[in-house]
Amino acid sequence: MQYPVYLQLSGTENVYAIQGPDRFWECTSLGAQTLCHDVLATTWPERQRILDMVADDGPWERIDRAAFEAQWNKGNCNMESTAIPLDVLEHVELSPYTTFGIEAKARWFADVTSVDGLRAALDWSRSHGVEVFVLGGGSNMLLHGDVEALVLRIQIHGVEVRSDDGRHVEVAVGAGEVWHDFVMHTLDQGWGGLENLSLIPGSVGASPMQNIGAYGVEIRDHFAWLDAVRISDGALQRFTAEDCAFGYRESVFKRQEKGKWILVRVAFHLDRESPLRMGYGAIEQELQHLPEAERTYRDVSDAVIRIRQSKLPDPAKIGNAGSFFKNPTIPAEQANALLATHPNMPNYPQPSGEVKLAAGWLIEQAGWKGHNRTTHGVHDRQALVLVHFGGATGKEVWDLAQDVMASVKDRFGVSLEPEVNQVGLQD
């Protein structure tokens, strides 16, 4: 079954849009009123109701979208606008859409501006027998060659306050919004929580996929829920924090559900009175000129931006994907052995009993900081970042990454893992 499925209850004006096996929109008439609901089927009776609704022998009749929309709009239900017609382009250069700027072409390419537009793109891919590849903000990927697929650039926008009790706010954001722009919007509104995540490149939709984090804060600390569309059948599903199974730079979308979903909207819990988090990195040092009682979310954000700009290259000037490697976590015994010979090694004990190390420090100590291979290299101010000066291939950058990983393994016995997604990497 492909979703959505539009239905009308026989003998009534009540209409329904089945969004997936555990979600539907209903629009019911009550006298002169038209009421609309987005129903999440979290219990078996609700899921059974959906099965009954799509059964052929029930009192619900299939209708088209236009009939559903006509009734839905009577209730001013704020349904998304009809999607812009899908425009599929061919042989599109992708380097302008990725922060690494590696030259590679998409066999087919389309911008997606709504859930309906996304479903139309998925229908197109199925009818043409091609795979889909989600570009998002293009900030966490290294392309190893042309992409023989329908490349989708998610451009779903919008910021909606779902609830606000005067202190706590739940805000839902389109997956295509630029992450840093959204963080700046939260500061403009006086909402605390995301200020430590300022200046991270990429889109809102990419943020929960890898549970982005910086300066002591991760997405999961303020995550409420997300909506995603299943590639196989167009089902729209709500994921809770538990469903996402967040880990360090990980989520279910990078493991069990990898390649199965496209995120369309993400919601966050924010707080006008949340405490400032200044104990990580150089934030406290950056703010020492301000009395602690006078510091604001904006001050913390500005400090983070200054720190990041002092260490990290601007993708608009030098191609890069930010931190190329994850900070490794190792057993405490191994960490203690390393500290015995490297007492200045940064180390961060974890609740699990393991110890997290700073990948950038390991790489720098192995002699890679500022390493230059003419077209690409290791950044001269932050060894965690691989940079593209122009003219390199994805394979050449990956070869450098492998050399770095092998060197760190040889010197410290620590295995590094790439944080950046490798697209089209041949085994």
Q: Which of 26, 177, 195, 419 is catalytic?
A: 419
Parts of the chain belonging to CATH 3.90.78.10: 313-423
284 is a catalytic site residue: no
Average pLDDT of the residues of the chain: 93
In 3D, which of 169, 140, 171, 143 has the Cα closest to residue 158?
171
Amino acid 94: pLDDT: 97
CATH tag, 159-308: 3.30.465.10
Q: Which of 249, 251, 274, 301 is catalytic?
A: 249
Own/partner contacts of 331-340, CB < 8 Å, gap of 24 or more, are: 331/355, 334/413, 334/414, 338/412, 338/413, 338/414
Average pLDDT score over residue span 251-272: 96
249 is a catalytic site residue: yes
pLDDT tens profile 274-312: 999 998 778 999 999 999 999 999 999 999 999 999 988
- Rounded to two decimals, the pTM is 0.89
Amino acid 82: pLDDT: 53
- % of the chain residues with pLDDT over 70: 97
For residue 407, what pLDDT band results from cuts at 50, 70 and 90? very high
Cα dihedral 84, 38, 53, 123, rounded to 10, equals 20
Average pLDDT score over residue span 230-248: 96
Amino acid 79: pLDDT: 58
What lies within 8 Å, CB to CB, of 20 at 6+ separation is: 3, 230, 233, 235, 236, 237
Q: Is 416 exposed, middle or buried (0-12, 13-18, 19+ CB in 10 A)?
A: buried
Task: Determine which of 80-84, 111-115, 245-249, 286-290 has the lowest per-residue pLDDT on average.
Answer: 80-84
pLDDT tens profile 318-363: 999 989 999 999 999 999 999 999 999 999 999 999 999 999 999 9
The residue among 138 and 198 whose pLDDT is bigger is 198
* DSSP for 8-43, written as a single string: EETTSS-EEEEEETTEEEEEEEETTEEEEEEEE--S
Residue 387 pLDDT exceeds 80: yes
Amino acid 248: pLDDT: 87
Range 89-154: architecture per CATH: 2-Layer Sandwich (3.30)
pLDDT tens profile 94-131: 999 999 999 999 999 999 999 999 999 999 999 999 99
Range 313-423: architecture per CATH: Alpha-Beta Complex (3.90)
Q: Which residue has the tokens 């900070």?
A: 327
Parts of the chain belonging to CATH 3.30.465.10: 159-308
419 is a catalytic site residue: yes
Parts of the chain belonging to CATH 3.30.43.10: 89-154
CA distances from 111 to 89, 299, 415 (A): 9, 36, 38
Residue 29 pLDDT exceeds 90: no
Cα dihedral 299, 300, 303, 304, rounded to 10, equals -150
In 3D, which of 329, 354, 308 has the Cα closest to residue 417?
329
* DSSP for 59-83, written as a single string: SEEE--HHHHHHHHGGGT--PPPPP
